[in-house]
Chains A and B, each alone.
Chain A
Amino acid sequence: MLELKGVKLKYGYVEALKGIDMHVKEHQITALLGANGAGKSTTLRAVSCLNRIEKGEITFLDQIVHRLQPSEIVHKGIVHCPEGRKLFPFLTVQENLLAGAYTLKDRNQIRSLQENVFTLFPILKDRRKQMAGTLSGGEQQMLAIGRALMAAPKILMLDEPSLGLAPKIVEQIFDTLVTLREEGTTIFLVEQNANAALHIADYAYILEVGKVVLEGEGNALLKNENVKKKYLGG
């Protein structure tokens, strides 16, 4: 569905991505793992055209997309839920969700998407009149995912949804991702929490300083000795 071929990206003189190849398949969770600074977030930023790639090609449903504007990417159905949530703190929960549906015009569709988000995260329904900035960390992450879902994504890209959350909440968020996959959403998941991510991922890539060093099915990587030593703490 989404393919990256030989993608290179530079921040000034620093080569952040040194020619990576990836393939995100439809109806699957594809995880992208690695340490800080490996280039995980950069990969997502390249796909959503927040940063321009220098070489290579990004295609989505067989169309080249790396020369588009960020807003056009959203129209294509690629929705990026950024690192650190980036909510609109002085908009209410409901307004944040509406903001997520910015590209949509059909009011009925927006309403049903919102109902869907409220079913996934009932707490957001209770808080819908509250300013997003007043939510707890877990609620903010739920809102960030909910907001991304409001754009009716064909592919949902999540950047570290577990960051700074209590283990119990992380579990809840990851359960939601599994539910979303069952409903047919394609997910491209960037994570530092390799253990949790590999347990739900169909396929995974591991990045080290801008290069894919390992890839394979989630289960296989969980058993891989190298991965165990480096990323699973044992």
Chain B
Amino acid sequence: MSAVLLQQIILGLREGSLFALVALGLVIVHKTTGVVNFAYGHMGMFAAYITFTFYTLLGLNLYLAVAIGITFAVFLGILTEKFLLRPIRHLSHSAMLIITLGMLMILEGMALLIWKQDFKQLPNLITGIPYRINLGNSFLIITRQDVLIFVVTTAIVFGTFFYLKYTKLGLAVRMVSQNEEASHLMGVKVGRVYGFAWGLGTGLSALAAILAAPKEQVQPNMMLNLQVQGLTAAVLGGFDSLPGAIVGGILLGIIEQLVAKYISVELKTALALMVIIILLLVKPEGLLGKSSKRRV
């Protein structure tokens, strides 16, 4: 394999990890509660602002500020589900969709109102000399933050899988995602499972936002691209499949890098989306989707 190609793949892995993280949260929420959360990225953005406030304005320890930001997002997710979405669950999915769209606008407006227009900074969570990988006669630089993103994503992915597979709450999440009514009849408190999914999902969005912040800056639209790419990754993977979201995210990251390198940087997102359209034409249920699966 040529060094240049390998380099692109490594860069793609880094980008793809973030896409996967965003996609994972979107899929968990959709699979469990049936809602595609349009405000997903913005909820993470808001959490990044909270982290910025505690770290820069109040001078708190960075990791403590990050923990506060993520905790804030977890509660934002739980409360949004409980007070905005659950009361209208009986109406329709599109009604809930509109609510999340409203949330998106409100969060964006509030961020502008509170923190004004100028971009804010959040530092890398880990600093130090970047790693240098020698590839024949060229070399590749990877920052420690990039490695951190990859490691954190991997840890979260495996953590989530094991949690869903081997714990009682995990079983409840899988039950609710497959048949809500039967879950009621087995004694599951379905509302709590919704809350859990929203809390977990929104927490992941916050984590993605904070990890992406050093590159994207903290600003109202910082998560716009990640939300689109995360959504795309989720669709690519079949939308209801957690492994699909991961594979979709990584794949999308690599495709984008390859397009950027060999075709055109400006076209990387557009062409990546083209590839996905073609892929979905050939395999409409997504890479790891289950074609027969429908929410009841």
**A22-30, A32-40, A86-94 - interface stretch:** A86-94
Nearest CB of B to A99, in Å: 5
Instruction: Contacts A87-B179, A88-B182, A90-B290 given; indicate if A98 touches B188 (C-beta within 8 A).
Output: no
Instruction: Contacts A89-B178, A90-B178, A90-B293 given; indicate if A99 touches B184 (C-beta within 8 A).
Output: no
Q: Which of B157-189 contact A (CB under 8 A)?
A: 168, 171-172, 174-175, 178-179, 181-189
Instruction: Contacts A69-B189, A71-B189, A102-B168 given; indicate if A88 touches B175 (C-beta within 8 A).
Output: yes
Contacts of A48 in B (CB 8 A): 184-185
Q: B269-296 vs A: 1/0 string, CB under 8 Å?
A: 0000000000000000000001011001
- Is there an interface contact between B187 and A71, defined as CB atoms closer than 8 Å? yes
Q: Is A95 an interface residue (CB 8 A)?
A: yes
A95 to B179, CA, bound (A): 14
Q: Pick from B174, B181, B189, B292: contact of A50, CB below 8 A.
A: B181
Q: B184-219 vs A: 1/0 string, CB under 8 Å?
A: 111111100000000000000000000000000000
Contacts of B296 in A (CB 8 A): 86
Contacts of B190 in A (CB 8 A): 71
Q: Is A75 an interface residue (CB 8 A)?
A: yes
Q: Pick from B168, B179, B184, B290: contact of A71, CB below 8 A.
A: B184
- Contact residues on A (Cβ < 8 Å of other chain), bracket: 20 to 34
Nearest-neighbor residue (CB-CB) of B192 within chain A: A71
Nearest CB of B to A5, in Å: 23
A99 to B176, CA, bound (A): 11
A103 to B174, CA, bound (A): 16
- Is there an interface contact between A71 and B182, defined as CB atoms closer than 8 Å? no
A179 to B168, CA, bound (A): 31
Instruction: Contacts A69-B189, A71-B189, A102-B168 given; indicate if A91 touches B175 (C-beta within 8 A).
Output: yes
Q: Is A80 an interface residue (CB 8 A)?
A: yes
Helix, strand, loop or mixed for chain B's interface? helix
A99 to B187, CA, bound (A): 9
A210 to B240, CA, bound (A): 40
Q: Pick from B171, B290, B293: contact of A99, CB below 8 A.
A: B171
- Is there an interface contact between B181 and A86, defined as CB atoms closer than 8 Å? yes
Nearest-neighbor residue (CB-CB) of A80 within chain B: B185
Q: Which of A46-69 contact B (CB under 8 A)?
A: 48, 50, 69
Nearest CB of A to B184, in Å: 4
- Is there an interface contact between B179 and A102, defined as CB atoms closer than 8 Å? no
- Is there an interface contact between A82 and B182, defined as CB atoms closer than 8 Å? yes
Nearest CB of B to A115, in Å: 19
Q: Pick from A50, A89, A90, A102: contact of B186, CB below 8 A.
A: A102
Nearest-neighbor residue (CB-CB) of B165 within chain A: A95
A81 to B184, CA, bound (A): 11
Nearest CB of B to A196, in Å: 24
| 19 residue pairs from A and B, CB less than 8 Å apart | A50-B184, A50-B185, A70-B185, A71-B188, A71-B190, A74-B187, A79-B185, A81-B185, A86-B182, A86-B185, A86-B296, A87-B182, A90-B174, A90-B290, A91-B178, A99-B186, A102-B171, A102-B175, A102-B187
**Top 5 A-B pairs, shortest CB-CB distance:** A74-B187, A103-B187, A86-B182, A70-B184, A88-B178
Which residues of chain A have a CB within 8 Å of any CB of chain B?
48, 50, 69-71, 74-75, 79-82, 86-91, 95, 98-100, 102-103, 133, 147, 151
Which residues of chain B have a CB within 8 Å of any CB of chain A?
168, 171-172, 174-175, 178-179, 181-190, 290, 292-293, 296
